[in-house]
Amino acid sequence: MRIVLLGLPGAGKGTQAALLASSAGVPHVATGNIFRQAMTAGTPLGLQVREIVERGGLVPDQLTVAIVRQRLMEADAARGFVLDGFPRTVPQALALDAMLRGMAAPLERAVLLQMTADEAVARLAGRRVCPRCGATYHLQAAPPAPDGTCPRCGAAVEQRADDREEVQRRRVEAYEGETAPLVPHYEAAGRLLRVPAGGDVADVAARLRAALAGAAR
């Protein structure tokens, strides 16, 4: 499986990518998680991107592409991957196309999780993440443990700095300006699938699996 998930911040890319990747036995590659883990660990990459990520901007293409290239060269990605949050700009998509051509392993599908900006932003208000293992929770829809810890690894979950309201707006604008043009890019390549992202997690997952299965026929 080699697929990309597209959609507004809050559309459910991370949630669905984790489910899909684990059922397909391929890695879930999320550039946002890679940046946040580097920020938490205080690595040079984390220091370099912190300000950009926290104000809702986009990390420069060259740096982001280099990180993804390195990640996709790791052994576990030989069987495929679910990319979440990458590509986010047309130059990133072109770089990914070239990268996969070089590996003779073209992208199978780009799935757009469709949702209005109002619905997506409403979901972000309840989002909590685990700074240690990267798991995502939601105060109502997918709550962490009652004491506010991550059921998977035990760390205290937190709200992302970029989920504050004024930063959310900037991220939606970045999506509309830089990422939305990927929809016609993948449509022209005959790779795009649209999946409505409303409803509960299991419903979206079932819809996504059915769309991928239908497209494979």
The residues assigned a catalytic role are: 13, 88, 127, 160, 171
**Minimum gap (Å) between residue 175 Cβ and ligand AMP:** 9
Which of 11, 16, 38, 92 contacts ligand AMP by CB under 6 A?
92
With CB under 6 A as the contact rule, which of the stretches 20-28, 39-47, 83-91, 137-145 interacts with ligand AMP? 83-91
**Minimum gap (Å) between residue 103 Cβ and ligand ADP:** 25
Q: 27 contacts which partner out of ligand AMP, ligand ADP, none, CB within 5 to 8 A by kind? A: none
Q: Please report whether residue 201 would count as binding ligand ADP according to CB under 6 A.
A: yes
Q: What is the C-alpha radius of gyration for the chain, rounded to an integer number of angstroms?
A: 16
Q: 137 contacts which partner out of ligand AMP, ligand ADP, none, CB within 5 to 8 A by kind? A: ligand ADP
Q: Please report whether residue 56 would count as binding ligand ADP according to CB under 6 A.
A: no
In sequence order, what DSSP letters do the residues of the chain get, joined into one string?
-EEEEE--TTSSHHHHHHHHHHHHT--EEEHHHHHHHHHHHT-HHHHHHHHHHHTT----HHHHHHHHHHHHTSGGGGG-EEEES---SHHHHHHHHHHHHHTT----EEEEEE--HHHHHHHHHTEEE-TTT--EEETTTB---TTSB-TTT-PBPB--GGGSHHHHHHHHHHIIIIITTHHHHHHHTT-EEEEE--S-HHHHHHHHHHHHHHHH-
Q: 100 contacts which partner out of ligand ADP, ligand AMP, none, CB within 5 to 8 A by kind? A: none
With CB under 6 A as the contact rule, which of the stretches 2-10, 43-51, 143-151, 174-182 interacts with ligand ADP? 2-10
| Residues of this chain that bind ligand ADP (CB under 6 A) | 7, 9-15, 123-124, 126-127, 136-138, 141-142, 199-201, 204
